[in-house]
Amino acid sequence: MNHYIYISDDGKSDFYEKEAIKASWLVRELKRQISISLFERLLLSNGEANKKKVLELALKVNEIVKPEDIVKDYYVF
């Protein structure tokens, strides 16, 4: 089943994409976070310092630092 979620703001879209990957959100959870305006609420909290941090997170590319960054759920056979 395909799920399409369109967000016109690139920064906002990048933020939700990174957070969904990092937190392993399913489509239902992603839609919930969008509906409760997580991005906007984070931008409003703690003023400019937090706004800068949220925007940096939105623009940051996923960094691969350790093996766990590539393989999230692994199995031992």
The pair of structure tokens assigned to 75 is 């199995």
Domain ranges of the chain: 10-69
Q: Please tell me whether the overall predicted TM-score, pTM, comes out greater than 0.75 for this model.
A: no
**Poorest-confidence range of 13-22, 32-41, 47-56?**
47-56
**Amino acid 14: pLDDT:** 86
Q: Tens digits of per-residue pLDDT, 4-20?
A: 888 898 888 888 888 88
Rounded to whole angstroms, the Cα distance separating 53 from 56 reads: 5
Instruction: Quote the pLDDT of residue 32.
Output: 92
Q: What percent of the chain has pLDDT over 90?
A: 8
List, as one string, the DSSP characters of the chain: -------S-HHHHHHHHHHHHHHT--HHHHHHHHHTTHHHHHHHTTHHHHHHHHHHHHHPPPP--SGGGT-SS----
